[in-house]
Structure 1
Amino acid sequence: MGETLLVKEMMTAPRMVLAPHTTVREAARLFAEQEATAAPVVDDTGALLGIVTEIDLLRDRFEADPRAWARPVDASPPAPPESVTDVMTREVVTIAENNDVADLVDLMVRRRLREVPVLRAGRVVGMLSRGDLLRMHYRTDAEVLADLRAALAEGAPYVEQCSAQVRDGFVHLDCENISAQQRRLVTSIARTVPGVSRVIVDNT
């Protein structure tokens, strides 16, 4: 079985949070500087109003070049949008921090989402992107093993008879004389470590 993680264990802090009065030009500058792909728009209380993506900031920013067209182009195109509220998506797909990451992945696949705001009581506390999820699966075995040992030391300090190996995200725990309850515990703990794809526990 794959890892079991909560959204709050994977989310990152938003690279930026935009105010409704932020101009499209200023938002574009911030996106370029922060290498962001999306940013939430919030009001003075921190409540989510919408979300802006890179493509939103490009909307109506380029006029047609007459050299590329055989027919005349509109000499007076409409004025481009000025503030982020003019281009943001108002019906935002969000997720709560205590939801299962597996549910989020399913949601992102079905809705073709690149990044999702994480909410607590209606306020943005984090963001989770496709890149965040992919990076979890490209962790080295050494990183996974170190986190696994730390997680077992914290969550099951009295279970000292287990040695651990990790290869390509596959965890093998060799434990001596542990009870069925302890076996379930160490298995559950191991599955919460980012980068773990499968857990096998041998009880010798």
Structure 2
Amino acid sequence: MIVREVMTREPVTVSPTADAKSALALMADRSITMLPVVDARGNLRGVVSEPDLLRDRVEPDQRLHERPLPDAPSLAPVHVVDVMTTGVHSVTADTDVADAVQLLVSTGVKSLPVVGRHGSVEGVLSRSDVVRAVARSDEALELAIDDLFARGGLAAWTAHVKDGVAEITGTGPRRQASLARALARTITGVTGVRVREEAE
């Protein structure tokens, strides 16, 4: 799997000068946890996350205190630039999803911006994007592989998928077996491939 096959395209972005509370409302409305921060050309300048925008925004509840709390000036961020993170991790659309997942796991971030060659934001890859891809049913994966084989001239080959692992069976030249294996690996959600060649 490569990132372009599972990423969210046309991501929601925000500018550095955007109002921080509006950015938080945008996250709530779109059910997302991170926004790429882009300049006027759409190039990545950083990211802003829920924790960044929540910082100092929730006041203590007076009902839980015996004495009145003193008035204090608000420390909540006003603009995205005040709290955004720069120097962020990102991937490209051609990155192997396995490498992207390793980055997600090792850094603890929930989403990664997907950037083009010149730094423009082309999408976002989130953990939930990967989960949806990997969670495809075995039946759906079988249908996708068989359809790909039919379109690729490999009608003599079929797939049986269990727990994401595809067992490919069929007859034909060794190069067909290699092609069948390669094609099956391109299906989003397939986690392994075994080829069993039947005697002609």
Could you tell me which amino acid in structure 1 is paired with residue 196 of structure 2? D
Q: 1:31 aligns with which of 27, 30, 39?
A: 27
Q: 1:164 offset after TM fit, Å? A: 2.0
RMSD: 1.9
SS at match of 2:115: strand
CA distance in 2, matches of 1:56, 1:167: 42
Deviation track 1:107-166 (CA, whole Å, cap 9, x = no partner) reads 111111110000102111011111111112211122212221233234x32x22112222
Match of 2:104 in 1: 108
93-102 or 64-73, which moves further after superposition? Answer: 64-73
Letter in 2 for 1:150: D
The 1:75/1:48 distance shift into structure 2, 3 A limit, reads same
**Structure 1 Cα separation of the partners of residues 130 and 66 of structure 2:** 46
Aligned-partner Cα distance in 2 for 1:99–1:15: 18
CA drift of 1:78 comes to: 4.4
Figure out how many residues of one structure are paired with residues of the other and give that number: 197
**Map of 1:170 onto structure 2:** 165
Which sits farther off after the overlay, 113-122 or 75-84?
75-84
Tell me by how many angstroms 1:201 deviates: 1.5
Shift in CA distance, 160/153, structure 1 to aligned 2, threshold 3 Å: closer
CA distance in 2, matches of 1:72, 1:61: 19
Residue 13 of structure 1 aligns with which residue?
9
Give the partner amino acid of 1:164: A
CA contact (8 A) 1:63 1:77 kept: no
Could you tell which deviates more after superposition, 62-71 or 14-23? 62-71
Q: Which amino acid aligns with 1:163?
A: T
Quick check: 2:164–2:191 contact (8 Å CA) kept in 1?
yes
Indicate the residue corresponding to 1:193 in structure 2: 187
Check the 8 A contact 1:15/1:36 in 2, yes or no. Answer: no
In structure 2, runs of 5+ residues without a counterpart are none
Deviations, residues 62-121 of structure 1 (Å, cap 9, x unaligned): 223455457885532443211111111112110111111111111111111110000102
In structure 2, distance between residues paired with 1:15 and 1:34: 10
2:127 equivalent among 127, 130, 133: 130
Find the residue that maps to 2:9 and give its secondary structure: coil
RCO comparison, higher one (Cα < 8 Å, 6+)? 1
Counterpart secondary structure, 1:30 = helix
- Indicate the larger mover: 186-195 or 61-70: 61-70
Contact 1:51-1:88 within 8 A present in 2 as well: yes
